[in-house]
C-alpha cells in the first residue's frame, strides 16, 4: 500500500512538472509556424499532440488541424489529406478543415472525392463562393484529363535531383544552355530551410550535347550566395540576368529582392539589387520584355487582390530608375497567389495561379493582351497542367516547346519537364463504294483538290481504298471517277484542327446503266409546281451535274395508275419539265437536259432497298396496277402507289462538250 501511495504521488508530481514542459512544446510549435518554419513545426506539433491527454479534446483537435496546416504549407498534399481527415472527424472541427481536406483531395488527383467534400463544405458555409468554383474546377479537370491538349510532356531526368529543381530559363539563343533553380547538395547555401526541410536554393547551369543529353548541372559561378537564389530570367542577347534572392533567417522573416548581373565574356558581374521595393518587402520572380524596359514581378505589397500578385514597373532606358509598380489587375490577379511570370516576345504573359479555376494547386495560365489593356486568360490544361503544382515555364522563343516545373510525381519535390507541341499531322483514309450495292470499287481514280493549290491523284486498290497526307489549315475536295459511274466527291478540312488526326471518308459512286431516282421530289396533288422540300434533292443534282460536265441527262417523271392514262401522261410531262426548268435556273446548260413524262407506263420494279422498307413487296416484282390490286389492304396499296410516283434521271451521253466561255 505504501509503495502504491508513493507511486501515485510521483505520477502527480510528474504531471505537474510536465504541464509547463508541454506548454513550452506548444509554444515552440506555434513560434515555428508563425515564422513560416512549417517543416520544423510539424515535429513540434506532433510531439505536443502525442503528449496531450485524450480527455483534452479541444487541444487535440487544434493540434491535429495545425499539423494538417503545416503539411499544406510545405506542399505535401498526401499527408495534409490524412491529417485534415482526422481534423474533420474531431469534435468541434473548424469549417476550414473541411475546405482544405477537399483541396488536398483535389491536389492528389481525387477529383470526384474532392467534389463530394466541397459539397459538404458548401453545406457548412453556404455563403462561401469558393465551393462552387472548386467543384467546377474539378469537373473541368476531369474533362481536360479525358481530352488532353496535343502537347508531349517528358521528365528531364538528366536535370532533376532528389531535391527541388524548378523555374528554368534558356541561357543561349540556340537553347543549348539552361539555368534553373535547385536545392541539391551542391548548392552554396549549406543551411536547411525550416519551411521546406530542404537546403537553400542556388542557380545551376547545364548544357546539352550533340546526343541531346544534358550535362551534370553545376552552380553558376559568381551568382549564388549563402542565401536562397533562383528564378533566373535573361534579357535580349542573354548578357543580362535577373533573378530572386531571399535572405531567410531562423525565426525571422526577411524580404526577397530582385538581383541583376551583367555578363562580360564568360564572367558574370557581382549581382546587385535593382531596389524596386524596400528590402523588407517581397519582390520576386522577375520577367522582362525583350527591350528590358518593362519588368513584371511578384509581390505581396499593399494594393493587391490578396496573396501574392503580379506587378509591372517600367523605365525609360537602361540604367534609369524603375517606375512605381502597377498591379496587373483582376484579369490576372486573384485572392490566391499569382507567381512565376514569363513573357514571350509577342507580349503573351504566362504565369501560375492557385486562385483561378485550375486542375490542382498551381496551374499554368496563358494571358493574351488586348488593345484596351485587358487580358484574355486561358488555362494551359492537361497534359502540361496536372493535379499537382505546375509553374515556372519557359519557351524556345516562338516555338511551342520548352521546359516547366511540376510536383506531379507525388514526392512533394519540384522537378523539370520538357514540353512540345508536335507538328500537326493529318491523313485521310477513304473508301469508294457503289451507292446501290455497297460493293467497293477497284481502280477508281481519286483526285485531291486543295485550297492551297495542291492537286494530287491516286487510284483505289484492291480494297477500294485510298490514302493521302493532308496539310494544316487547308480545305480539300476528293473527287472519285470510274468508267460506268457518275463522278462522286466528298469534302474535308483541316482548318481549325488543333490536334493531329486521321479522317475517314466514303465516296459513293452511282452506276449509269440504270435510271437513278431523285429522292424527296414532291408536288401538290394534281399539280406540277415543285414544293420547297424538293429543292434539297435537286440542288444535289445540280452539284452532280457540275461534277460531271460531260454528261447529259433525261429527266423522267412517273405517276401512279389512279387516273386516266392521258391525264397521267400530261401531268408527268409537266412535272418533268418543271424539274428541267429549275435546273436551268440554277445554271445548268439547257442542251444537257431533256424532259419526258412516262405517266403510269413504267411501274417500279421492287429492289432490295424497297423490300427492306416494305417486306410485303417481293424483290423483282413490277408494281403494276394489276399487282397492286392483289395486295392485302389499302395501306399496302397506298405504299405501292407512292413508290410508283417518282422522279428519276438517266444518263444519255458522256461525251458532251461544254460551251467555251
User: Would you say residue 4 has pLDDT above 50?
Assistant: no
- Residues 385-404: tens digit of each pLDDT: 999 999 999 999 889 999 99
Greatest alpha-carbon pair distance for the chain in Å reads 135
Can you tell me the distance from the alpha carbon of 562 to that of 559, in angstroms, rounded to the nearest whole number?
Answer: 8
H/E stretch holding 536 reads helix 535-547
**Omega into 383 within 30° of 0, i.e. cis?**
yes
Category of 319 on φ-ψ map: left (φ > 0), alpha (ψ -120 to 50) or beta: left
Task: Give 26-146's CATH code, choosing from 3.90.1150.10, 1.10.132.10, 1.25.40.10, 3.40.50.300.
Answer: 1.25.40.10
Q: How confident is the model at residue 40 (pLDDT cuts 50, 70, 90)?
A: confident
Pick the CATH number of 516-653 from 3.30.1330.60, 3.30.1490.190, 2.60.40.10, 3.30.2290.10: 3.30.1330.60
Burial (CB count <10 Å: 0-12, 13-18, 19+), residue 378: exposed
Which has the closest alpha carbon to 550: 653, 660, 661? 653
520 falls in which pLDDT band (50, 70, 90)? confident
All 3 cell numbers of residue 556? 423522267
Mean pLDDT for 447-469 is 95
CA distance 329 to 340: 16
Q: Check residue 194 and give its pLDDT.
A: 63
Residue pLDDT, tens place only, 100-111: 999 999 999 999
Query: Among 21-30, 190-199, 225-234, 586-595, where is mean pLDDT lowest?
Result: 190-199
pLDDT score, position 189: 62
Please report which confidence band the pLDDT of residue 36 belongs to, taking 50, 70 and 90 as the band edges: confident
Grid cell locating 467? 490514302
β-pairing, 426-434 vs 501-509, is parallel
Q: Can you give the pLDDT at residue 37?
A: 87
- For the whole model, what pTM was predicted? 0.75
Q: Does pLDDT of 252 surpass 80?
A: no
**According to the model, what pLDDT value does residue 14 have?**
37
Determine the CATH number of domain 152-414.
Answer: 2.115.10
- pLDDT in the model for residue 215: 96
CA distances to 274, 299, 305, 311 from 302, in Å: 20, 9, 9, 11
Q: Mean pLDDT, to the nearest integer, of 327-332?
A: 96
C-alpha dihedral, 145 to 149 to 150 to 154, nearest 10°:
-60
Q: Confirm or reject CATH 2.60.40.1120 for domain 426-509, answering yes or no.
A: yes
Mean pLDDT, range 250-274, rounded to an integer: 84
The 3-state secondary structure of 157-180 reads CCCCCCCCEEEEEECCCCCCEEEE
- Sequence-ordered list of residues with C-beta below 8 angstroms from that of 49, at least 6 positions apart, any chain: 60, 63, 64, 67
One DSSP character per residue, 257-269 reads: EEEEEEEETTEEP
| 311 contacts 297 by C-beta, under 8 angstroms | yes
Say what the pLDDT of residue 10 is. Answer: 33
C-alpha to C-alpha distances, 466 to 440, 457, 458, 473, 475, nearest whole angstrom: 12, 10, 7, 21, 18
Q: Where are the domains of the chain?
A: 26-146, 152-414, 426-509, 516-653
**pLDDT bucket at 199, cuts 50 / 70 / 90:** confident
Are the C-beta atoms of 347 and 375 separated by less than 8 Å? no
Residue 412 has pLDDT above 70, yes or no: no
Residue 642 pLDDT: 85
Confidence of residue 195 (pLDDT cuts 50, 70, 90): low
Q: Find the radius of gyration of the CA atoms of the chain.
A: 39
> How many angstroms separate the CA atoms of 560 and 572, rounded?
10
Residue 458: which pLDDT band, with cuts at 50, 70 and 90? very high
pLDDT on residue 282 = 84
Q: Is-contact 288 264, C-beta < 8 A?
A: no
315 or 528, greater pLDDT: 315
Q: Tell me the residue ranges of DSSP E strands in 407-444.
A: 415-420, 426-434
Q: What is the C-alpha to C-alpha distance for residues 350 and 285, in angstroms, rounded to an integer? A: 12
- pLDDT for 529 equals 83
The dihedral over CA atoms of 207, 209, 212, 216, expressed in degrees to the nearest 10, equals -50
Amino acid at each position: 500500500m505504501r509503495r502504491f501511495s508513493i507511486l501515485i504521488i510521483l505520477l502527480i508530481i510528474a504531471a505537474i512538472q510536465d504541464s509547463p514542459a508541454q506548454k513550452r512544446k506548444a509554444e515552440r510549435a506555434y513560434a515555428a509556424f508563425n515564422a513560416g518554419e512549417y517543416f520544423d513545426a510539424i515535429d513540434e506539433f506532433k510531439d505536443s499532440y502525442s503528449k496531450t491527454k485524450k480527455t483534452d479534446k479541444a487541444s487535440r483537435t487544434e493540434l491535429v488541424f495545425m499539423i494538417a496546416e503545416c503539411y499544406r504549407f510545405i506542399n505535401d498534399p498526401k499527408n495534409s489529406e490524412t491529417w485534415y481527415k482526422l481534423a474533420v472527424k474531431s469534435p468541434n472541427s473548424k469549417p476550414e478543415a473541411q475546405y482544405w481536406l477537399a483541396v488536398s483531395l483535389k491536389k492528389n488527383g481525387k477529383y470526384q472525392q474532392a467534389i463530394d467534400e466541397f459539397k459538404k463544405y458548401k453545406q457548412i458555409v453556404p455563403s462561401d463562393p469558393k465551393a462552387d468554383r472548386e467543384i467546377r474546377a474539378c469537373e473541368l479537370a476531369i474533362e481536360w484529363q479525358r481530352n488532353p491538349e496535343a502537347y508531349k510532356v517528358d521528365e528531364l531526368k538528366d536535370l532533376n535531383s532528389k531535391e527541388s529543381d524548378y523555374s528554368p530559363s534558356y541561357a543561349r539563343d540556340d537553347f543549348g544552355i539552361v539555368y534553373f533553380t535547385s536545392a541539391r547538395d551542391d548548392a552554396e547555401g549549406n543551411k536547411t530551410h525550416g519551411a521546406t526541410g530542404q537546403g537553400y536554393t542556388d542557380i545551376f547551369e547545364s548544357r546539352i550535347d550533340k546526343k541531346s543529353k544534358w550535362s551534370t548541372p553545376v552552380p553558376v559561378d559568381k551568382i549564388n550566395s549563402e542565401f536562397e537564389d533562383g528564378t533566373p530570367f535573361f534579357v535580349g542577347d542573354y548578357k543580362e540576368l535577373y533573378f530572386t534572392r531571399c535572405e531567410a533567417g531562423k525565426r525571422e522573416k526577411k524580404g526577397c529582392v530582385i538581383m541583376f548581373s551583367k555578363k562580360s565574356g564568360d564572367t558574370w558581374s557581382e549581382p546587385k539589387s535593382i531596389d524596386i521595393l524596400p528590402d523588407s518587402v517581397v519582390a520576386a520572380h522577375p520577367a522582362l520584355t525583350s527591350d528590358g524596359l518593362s519588368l513584371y514581378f511578384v509581390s505581396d505589397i499593399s494594393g493587391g487582390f490578396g496573396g501574392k500578385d503580379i506587378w509591372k514597373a517600367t523605365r525609360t532606358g537602361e540604367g534609369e530608375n524603375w517606375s512605381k509598380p502597377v498591379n496587373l489587375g483582376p484579369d490576372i490577379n486573384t485572392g490566391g497567389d499569382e507567381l512565376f511570370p514569363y513573357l514571350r516576345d509577342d507580349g503573351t504573359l504566362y504565369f501560375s495561379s492557385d486562385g483561378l479555376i485550375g486542375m490542382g494547386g498551381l496551374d499554368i495560365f496563358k494571358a493574351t493582351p488586348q488593345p484596351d489593356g485587358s487580358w484574355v486568360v486561358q488555362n494551359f490544361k492537361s497534359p502540361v497542367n496536372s493535379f499537382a503544382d505546375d509553374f515556372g515555364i519557359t519557351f524556345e522563343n516562338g516555338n511551342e516547346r520548352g521546359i516547366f516545373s511540376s510536383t506531379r510525381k507525388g514526392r512533394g519535390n519540384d522537378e523539370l519537364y520538357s514540353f512540345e507541341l508536335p507538328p500537326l499531322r493529318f491523313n485521310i483514309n477513304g473508301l469508294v463504294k457503289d451507292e446501290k450495292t455497297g460493293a467497293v470499287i477497284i481502280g477508281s481514280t481519286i483526285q485531291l483538290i486543295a485550297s492551297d493549290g495542291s492537286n494530287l491523284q491516286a487510284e483505289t486498290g484492291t480494297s477500294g481504298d485510298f490514302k493521302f497526307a493532308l496539310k494544316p489549315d487547308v480545305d480539300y475536295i476528293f473527287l472519285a471517277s470510274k468508267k460506268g459511274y457518275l463522278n462522286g466527291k466528298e469534302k474535308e478540312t483541316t482548318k481549325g484542327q488543333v490536334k493531329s488526326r486521321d479522317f475517314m471518308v466514303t465516296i459513293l459512286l452511282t452506276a449509269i446503266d440504270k435510271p437513278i431516282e431523285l429522292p424527296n421530289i414532291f408536288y401538290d396533288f394534281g399539280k406540277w409546281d415543285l414544293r420547297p422540300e424538293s429543292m434539297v434533292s435537286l440542288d444535289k443534282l445540280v452539284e452532280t451535274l457540275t461534277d460531271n460536265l460531260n454528261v447529259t441527262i433525261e429527266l423522267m417523271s412517273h405517276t401512279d395508275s389512279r387516273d386516266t392514262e392521258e391525264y397521267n401522261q400530261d401531268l408527268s410531262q409537266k412535272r418533268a419539265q418543271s424539274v428541267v426548268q429549275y435546273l436551268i435556273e440554277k445554271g445548268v446548260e439547257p442542251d444537257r437536259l431533256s424532259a419526258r413524262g412516262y405517266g403510269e407506263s413504267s411501274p417500279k420494279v421492287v429492289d432490295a432497298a424497297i423490300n427492306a422498307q416494305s417486306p410485303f413487296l417481293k424483290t423483282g416484282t413490277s408494281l403494276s396496277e394489276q399487282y397492286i390490286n392483289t395486295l392485302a389492304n389499302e395501306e399496302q396499296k397506298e405504299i405501292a402507289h407512292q413508290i410508283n410516283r417518282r422522279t428519276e434521271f438517266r444518263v444519255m451521253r458522256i461525251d458532251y462538250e461544254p460551251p467555251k466561255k
